[in-house]
Each structure stands twice: as structure tokens, then as C-alpha cells.
């Protein structure tokens, strides 16, 4: 698969950069750090030889952490472009993490009903009523009004536990949130939106790629081309990540929100992706994937729901719980 090959190639290039530096630095402590880094990266290469796409993000994240340690160990010159080379590897690995996200990210759960004739609408209403009755037992409430759902959100949050099979994947998501915290705090300072909420949306929409729009993950080098299209409306590309993040959250009117309780955050997060799952009485993978609340069923493309498809992206609700120590 192309993404795995790209990750393998970039890690090999990073190893070559580290080995050149190992031969030129006189700092014994840095030499030891580089030797450890090369070993760690070699280990990631071995994992990538047998990796499924779901595991690639973990290897890329581990490689990024290893290179960041090498950057921190470089205290004595000459650097001769060494630090710039490491920064280049980090940038490329970050973009690759975004590519993995694009492959496994969840389609929008916003369902737009098609226009139909009067008779068709009557038949459709009867069918929808029958489906709604079926979906209410034993599934979730199909209302989309927060007041109706607050207790249910809290109950799901309290019961939510990680599926042990995805421990490593969830750790990857949580580590990326922690690493991005300084950037997310800038958004919180500007808009009053909690930094953790910002980080979770960034992970869900961009795979934590700071080179992408938080609206939908499109590159910052131009306005968005996917839905929502043409954002930010003002300014000139390329945009900074902060400019785009502020625009995306203002577009959703999150800067006007005052209720940041757990149930209301879950409500806002589910609404960000759409209530298409809830209208079927099903738990949204956008919230609960990788947990005991969700098992299967997802939108595989716009308006197309597959009851047997399984999400390969960590749910926002699970991230929220684990980051709060749950």
C-alpha cells in the first residue's frame, strides 16, 4: 500500500540523517540518544513490514516522538543542515499521519432527504414511523434535542470502556492530543472553547495534521474544496493552522457556546458529524468507536449506510473520557 511504503521510506531517510549526525557530533550524550533513536526507528520499520493500515498511524507517531527526542539532544554545533533535515522528516511524517486519517475517517452522518411525490411522501412517512418504532428498542433515543438526550449522553459516558484490542490505537490519539495542547490552548484563549474539545475535533477531522484545515482536513495551502467548501472566506492562502481553526469553530458557532458540560460536549461532537446514526437508534462511531458502546455500522459514503461496516477511527467520546482519566 502506498501510504505504508511512504512511511517506510521516510523513516529510512530519517535513519540515514541520524547516522550522518552520529558520525559528526562530538557530544557523547547526543551520540547515545541518536543510537537509541536509530534502534527505535528500526523497530518501527519491522512493525511496518507487517502493518495493517490501522497500525500505520501508531508507527508514524512513534517515529515522530523519536525524532523529536533527537532534536532535543542536539545542543552543540556544527549542525550543517541537520536540524532542518529532521524538521523536514517530521513535517512529512505528520502529513502521512493525515493521509492515514483520510483513508479511515468517518463520512458525514448528515442525511438529506430526497424530494418525493405526495404518495411517495405518505408511504415514506409510514415507513419512517415503523423504522423509528423498531429503532427505539433496544437502541438509543432518536430525538436530536439536547434536553431529551442529556441523561443518555452521561449514561453512555459513564459506561464507556475501551475495547482492549484498540489500546495501542487509543494511546496514539491521546498522545497526539497532549502534544498539540499548546496550539489548542491558543484557540481556547481566543474563543473560550476548551482546548481538549478543540484537540478532539482536530483529531477527528484532520488526524492531528497541523497542515490541514480543521473544517475537513483539506490542505492549508488553499481554501477548502470539500464540504464545507471555500473556507475561510476571508484572508489569503496559505492560511495558518490557527486562522483556519478559529474560522472552523466560528462557522459552527462554538464561540457562542457557554455549556461545556460532558453531556453537552458529546452533543456538540455528535452534531459535528451529523445525527444520521441517532435517527436509526444507533450509537455514533464518531463518539464511541473503539469502545464497548459501539460495535458496527457506519456511513461508508455520503448518504450510504452499511450496517456491517466497522469504524477504524477512535471515537471522540472515548477520547474525552480517557483524557479525563476515565
Q: DSSP secondary-structure letter at 301? A: E
Residues 197-202: what's their mean pLDDT? 96
Spatial contact of 170 and 312, defined as CB atoms under 8 Å apart: no
Domain residue ranges of the chain, discontinuous segments joined by +: 2-104, 118-323
Report d(CA 141, CA 120) in Å as an integer: 26
CATH fold of the domain at 2-104? Butyryl-CoA Dehydrogenase, subunit A; domain 3 (1.20.140)
Would you place residue 133 in the very low, low, confident or very high pLDDT band (cuts 50, 70, 90)? Answer: very low
Spatial contact of 288 and 160, defined as CB atoms under 8 Å apart: yes
Residues 287-296: what's their mean pLDDT? 95
pLDDT for residue 136 is more than 70: no
Give the model's pLDDT for residue 121: 53
Q: Strand (E) positions, the chain?
A: 298-301, 304-306
97 vs 39 pLDDT, higher one? 39
Phi (first) and psi of residue 248, to 5 degrees:
-65, -40
pLDDT for residue 154 is more than 70: yes
pLDDT for residue 233 is more than 70: yes
Angle at 53 between CA 49 and CA 55, to 5 degrees: 75
Give the model's pLDDT for residue 303: 76
Amino acid at each position: 500500500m502506498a501510504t505504508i511504503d511512504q512511511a517506510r521510506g521516510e523513516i529510512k531517510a530519517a535513519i540515514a540523517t541520524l547516522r550522518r549526525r552520529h558520525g559528526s557530533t562530538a557530544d557523547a550524550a547526543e551520540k547515545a540518544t541518536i543510537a537509541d533513536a536509530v534502534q527505535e526507528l528500526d523497530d518501527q520499520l519491522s512493525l511496518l513490514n507487517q502493518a495493517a493500515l490501522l497500525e500505520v498511524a501508531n508507527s508514524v507517531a512513534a517515529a515522530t516522538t523519536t525524532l523529536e527526542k533527537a532534536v532535543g539532544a542536539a545542543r552543540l554545533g556544527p549542525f550543517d543542515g541537520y536540524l532542518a533535515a529532521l524538521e523536514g522528516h517530521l513535517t512529512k511524517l505528520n502529513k502521512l499521519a493525515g493521509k492515514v486519517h483520510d483513508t479511515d475517517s468517518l463520512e458525514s452522518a448528515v442525511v438529506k432527504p430526497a424530494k418525493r411525490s405526495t404518495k411517495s411522501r405518505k408511504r415514506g412517512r409510514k415507513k419512517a414511523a415503523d423504522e423509528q418504532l423498531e429503532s427505539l428498542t433496544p437502541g438509543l433515543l432518536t430525538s436530536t434535542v439536547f434536553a431529551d438526550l442529556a441523561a443518555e449522553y452521561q449514561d453512555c459516558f459513564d459506561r464507556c470502556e475501551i475495547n482492549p484490542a484498540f489500546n495501542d490505537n487509543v494511546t496514539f490519539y491521546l498522545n497526539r492530543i497532549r502534544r498539540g495542547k499548546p496550539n489548542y490552548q491558543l484557540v481556547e484563549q481566543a474563543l473560550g472553547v476548551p482546548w481538549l474539545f478543540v484537540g478532539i475535533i482536530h483529531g477527528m477531522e484532520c488526524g492531528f495534521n497541523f497542515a490541514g484545515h480543521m473544517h475537513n482536513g483539506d490542505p492549508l495551502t488553499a481554501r477548502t474544496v470539500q464540504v464545507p467548501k471555500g473556507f475561510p472566506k476571508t484572508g489569503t492562502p496559505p492560511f495558518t493552522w490557527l486562522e483556519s481553526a478559529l474560522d472552523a469553530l466560528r462557522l459552527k458557532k462554538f464561540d457562542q457556546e457557554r455549556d461545556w458540560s460532558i453531556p453537552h460536549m458529546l452533543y456538540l461532537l455528535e452534531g459535528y458529524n451529523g445525527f444520521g446514526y441517532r435517527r436509526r437508534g444507533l450509537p455514533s462511531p464518531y463518539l464511541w468507536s473503539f469502545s464497548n458502546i459501539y460495535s458496527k455500522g457506519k456511513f461508508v459514503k455520503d448518504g450510504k449506510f452499511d450496517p456491517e461496516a466497522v469504524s477504524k477511527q477512535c471515537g471522540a467520546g472515548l477520547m474525552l473520557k480517557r483524557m479525563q482519566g476515565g
